[in-house]
C-alpha cells in the first residue's frame, strides 16, 4: 500500500457532474453565488489561510484595530480599524483555517445565514490578499 506522502504527491483529477443549466448561469454569478453553487455540486474548497504576523490585533476602547508591526511598517506605517465580524475572522486566522471554518465562526457568532457568511468571508479574504495580510496554504 502506498504511504501517505506518496498519495498526496500523486496527481489526481476529480470529475464533478454539473447540470447544464447551472453551468450556463455561472457566468452571471457573483463570487459568493458561484461558491455556493459549486458547494452544492459537491466541490470541496481545500485552501487554508493564515493571518500575516505583520499585524497585531488590539482592542482599544470599543474599537478593534490591526496594528502594523515590525519591518512591515515600511509598507504601511499605521493601523486599520475593523468591525466585530472582521475581528472574529482575524482571530480565527491566527491558526491555519479554511474558508468553511471562517464561515462557521461567523454563523456561530452572529447567527447569520450560510449565504451571508460565504459572501462576508470572500470579501474579507479578498481584502486581505490584496493587501498581503494573509498567507494562502
Partner 1 sequence: MECPNADHMTHLLKKEPSRIPINGTFELTIRCNLHCKMCMFRHDDSENTDIVHRELTADQWIKLANEVSRAGTFSLLLTGGEPMLRSDFCELYEGIYKQGFILTLYTNATLVTPRIMETLRRYPPHRIGITIYGASSETYERVCADASSFDRMREGVKQLRSLPSILDFRTTVINDNYADVDAIETMLRTEFGESCRLTQARMVNRSVRGACADVDACRLEPEDNVRLALRRSINIIKSYVGDRYDEKYLAIRLADNSDAEKHPRLTLFGCDAGMDSYAISWDGKLLGCQMMGAFALDVLDGSFTSAWKRFPGIVKLPPLNETCQACESLGICNCCWASRLAETGDLGGCPEYVCRDTAIVRALLNK
Q: Which is nearer to partner 1, 26 or 69 (CB)?
A: 69
Mark the segment that binds partner 1 (CB under 8 A) among 3-11, 45-53, 59-67, 119-127.
Answer: 59-67
How far from the centroid of its chain's Cα atoms is residue 65's Cα? 19
Contact call for residue 80 and partner 1 (CB under 8 A): no
Mark the segment that binds partner 1 (CB under 8 A) among 14-22, 23-31, 77-85, 98-106.
Answer: 77-85
Question: Which one of 73, 113, 115, 127 is in contact with partner 1 (CB under 8 A)?
Answer: 73
- Where does the chain show beta strands of DSSP type E? 48-51, 55-60, 63-68, 79-82, 97-98, 134-136
Smallest distance, partner 1 to C-beta of residue 56, A: 4
Residue 116: Cβ within 10 Å count? 14
CA dist 117 and 124 (Å) reads: 10
Torsion angle in degrees (nearest 10) through CA of 79, 91, 83, 116: 140
Mark the segment that binds partner 1 (CB under 8 A) among 16-24, 26-34, 53-61, 123-131.
Answer: 53-61
- Given the DSSP bridges, would you call strands 63-68 and 48-51 parallel, antiparallel or unpaired? unpaired
Question: Which one of 25, 70, 91, 127 is in contact with partner 1 (CB under 8 A)?
Answer: 70
CA dist 133 and 54 (Å) reads: 8
Contact call for residue 56 and partner 1 (CB under 8 A): yes
Q: Interface with partner 1 by CB under 8 A: which residues?
A: 56, 58, 60-61, 65, 67, 69-71, 73-74, 77-79
Amino acid at each position: 500500500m502506498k504511504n501517505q506522502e506518496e498519495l498526496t504527491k500523486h496527481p489526481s483529477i476529480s470529475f464533478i457532474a454539473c447540470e447544464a443549466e447551472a453551468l450556463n448561469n455561472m457566468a452571471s454569478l457573483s463570487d459568493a453565488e458561484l461558491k455556493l453553487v459549486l458547494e452544492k455540486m459537491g466541490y470541496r474548497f481545500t485552501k487554508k489561510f493564515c493571518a500575516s504576523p505583520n499585524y497585531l490585533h488590539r482592542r482599544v476602547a470599543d474599537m478593534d484595530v490591526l496594528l502594523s508591526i515590525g519591518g512591515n511598517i515600511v509598507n504601511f506605517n499605521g493601523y486599520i480599524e475593523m468591525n466585530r465580524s472582521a475581528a472574529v475572522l482575524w482571530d480565527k486566522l491566527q491558526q491555519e483555517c479554511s474558508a468553511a471554518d471562517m464561515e462557521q465562526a461567523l454563523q456561530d457568532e452572529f447567527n447569520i445565514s450560510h449565504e451571508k457568511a460565504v459572501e462576508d468571508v470572500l470579501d474579507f479574504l479578498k481584502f486581505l490578499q490584496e493587501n498581503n495580510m494573509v498567507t494562502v496554504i
